[in-house]
């Protein structure tokens, strides 16, 4: 999948699942490399038990800025491909635009519907 297609797929799914259920981070230590990953689970509102959710896994996050997560409001994320900047291990910037909840950079991301 080409990078722009990946971003478009995220935007398409984001329109269906815009509410954050959970955020989790993990640090992977392999050989001499440490990678920090962020997993965000989104749901649609109103939510009924058994409804589908979207999971976004962001790989190699850097410069995470996180604000209040209180309240129930729809989020709008913008993903920008900055690979042309030639930064080491950074390809995308991700910003939650509507409520300024979080922003960060990452090497890659994947989404799935569960």
User: DSSP letters along the chain, please?
Assistant: --HHHHHHHHHHHHTT--EEEEEEEEEEEETTEEEEEEEEEEE-SS--TT---EEEEEES-EEEEE----S-----EEEEE-GGG--TT--EEEEETTT--EEEEESEEEEEE-
| pLDDT recorded at residue 1 | 57
pLDDT digits (tens, 9 = 90+) for 12-54: 999 999 999 999 999 999 888 899 999 999 999 999 999 999 9
User: Which pLDDT belongs to residue 2?
Assistant: 62
User: What pLDDT, on the 0 to 100 scale, is given for residue 3?
Assistant: 58
Average pLDDT score, the chain: 93
Q: What pTM was estimated for this model as a whole?
A: 0.91
């Amino acid at each position: 999948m080409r990078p722009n297609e990946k971003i478009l797929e995220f935007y398409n799914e984001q329109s269906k699942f815009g509410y954050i259920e959970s955020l989790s981070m993990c640090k992977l230590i392999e050989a001499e490399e440490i990678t920090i990953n962020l997993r965000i689970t989104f749901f649609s509102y109103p939510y009924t038990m058994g409804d589908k959710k979207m999971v976004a896994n962001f790989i190699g996050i850097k410069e995470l800025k996180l604000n209040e997560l209180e309240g129930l409001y729809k989020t709008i994320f913008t993903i920008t491909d900055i690979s042309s900047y030639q930064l080491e291990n950074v390809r995308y910037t991700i910003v939650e635009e509507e409520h300024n909840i979080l922003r960060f950079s990452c090497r890659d991301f994947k989404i799935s519907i569960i």
